[in-house]
Amino acid sequence: MEEGQVLHIKYKDHVPIQKRFESIVRIIVDMIEDGMRDQAVRQKAIAIVNAANVRGHDELGEIRAITKWVQTHMVYRKEPVGVEYFHTARRLLRDIDNGSSAGDCDDFVILGGSLLGSLGYPVGALIVDSSGDGTFNHVMLVTKTFTTTREFGDNWIPVELIYPEFELGQSVPISKVYPLMADAQAIRAPVTRKTISGLGNVQVTKSLKPGVRKKSNFGEMLSKHPLAKLFRGK
Amino acid sequence: MKIPKDDSAYKLLQVPGYSRMGSSSLPGNEFWGTLISVAAVGVLTVTLFTRYY
């Protein structure tokens, strides 16, 4: 993936905020999937946990180290009304290194999810209703450990990245959540290679069900299978 | 300004519907892929058997 990639989406005025967040969370998850496969991101994640003196197999220690690093190194900046910018994890890391970090909650989730995902943790975007009016208006990260821990058991852990004083599992008061998990095995072109020029071209799933999205290239795989050639008489 | 914080998101994520979130399950595209592949192999076997024996 090239450095310095930024997606820019402008929503029309009539697009409801709920629809915006549904499309936003899908793009975030795609960008997390791209980031967690980026070798530069993994190198950074390893450097962060090593610098925090986290021992091997200390899963909560790794999650805490990455969370704290993102909370304290990324700078929260609001975006223009009606416009969404999405930065690749590599771009966000570069901006931090250059002292020009700026991102809103979805950028925090892209970076935190990419770093934790590159270390093998299951991650996803958690869109939440923090205003209590039934509308999704904020994005958090969600992850979990593989081994059961005394603190969280084997439960999913919401991670608030935009406030440095928030610990794992803490959030602002939330009345509704919708998680969408990243799939490390998803096969597709990187998001930054796609053309996205507005909500009309952004894929939005109407029925929201939690879980890993199924992305299948089964038809293409089947057509290339030797048996298929045999059936076609080749 | 003090930002209010609690564990409401954590509690909302503990409902049973989210417990298997993130783990892959067979009854999806993989299920149909496996079923169609097995059926294809079966049909091919019968076809070759009847053609050559």
What was the pLDDT predicted at A203? Answer: 39
B43: part of which helix (H) or strand (E)?
helix B29-52
What was the pLDDT predicted at A5? Answer: 60
Residue A138 is assigned to a structural domain of this protein: yes
Which residue on chain B is closest to A221 by alpha carbon? B33
Structural contact between residues A188 and A29, judged by C-beta atoms closer than 8 angstroms = no
B5 to chain A, minimum CA–CA distance in Å? 4
Pick out chain A residues at pLDDT < 50.
Answer: 1, 195-212, 214, 234
Position with higher pLDDT, A206 vs B46: B46
Question: One-letter amino acid identity for B46?
Answer: V
| Least CB–CB distance from B18: residue in A156, A165, A171 | A156
β-strands A83-87, A157-159: how paired?
unpaired
Mutation target for A interface from B10, B32, B44, B47: give the one with most A CBs within 10 A: B10
- Check A156 against B40: CB less than 8 A apart: no
B39: pLDDT strictly greater than 70: yes
A219 to chain B, minimum CA–CA distance in Å? 9
- Check A211 against B7: CB less than 8 A apart: no
| B23 class by beta-carbon count within 10 Å (0-12 exposed, 13-18 middle, 19+ buried) | exposed
Render pLDDT for A155-186 as a digit per residue (tens, 0 to 9). Answer: 999 999 999 999 999 999 999 888 888 887 76
What was the pLDDT predicted at A206? Answer: 32
Tokens of A190: 């990187």
- Check B10 against A158: CB less than 8 A apart: yes
Contacting B with CB below 8 Å, chain A residues are 122, 124, 126, 128, 140, 142, 144, 155-158, 160, 163, 165-166, 169-177, 179, 181, 210-212, 214, 216, 218, 222, 227, 230-231
* Residue B15 touches chain A, beta carbons under 8 Å: no
Residue A1 is assigned to a structural domain of this protein: no
What was the pLDDT predicted at A12? Answer: 76
CATH number at residue A213: 3.10.620
What was the pLDDT predicted at A143? Answer: 95
Spatial separation of the C-alpha atoms in residues A131 and A106, rounded to whole Å? 17
Render pLDDT for A66-86 as a digit per residue (tens, 0 to 9). Answer: 999 999 999 999 988 877 888
A3 to chain B, minimum CA–CA distance in Å? 29
**Residue of A68, A67, A66, A7 whose CA lies nearest to A42:** A66
Number of domains in chain A: 1
Please report residues of B whose CB lies closer than 8 A to that of A161: none
Spatial separation of the C-alpha atoms in residues A157 and B9, rounded to whole Å? 9
B25: pLDDT strictly greater than 80: no
Look up the domain containing A178 and give its range: 6-231
Residue A74 is assigned to a structural domain of this protein: yes
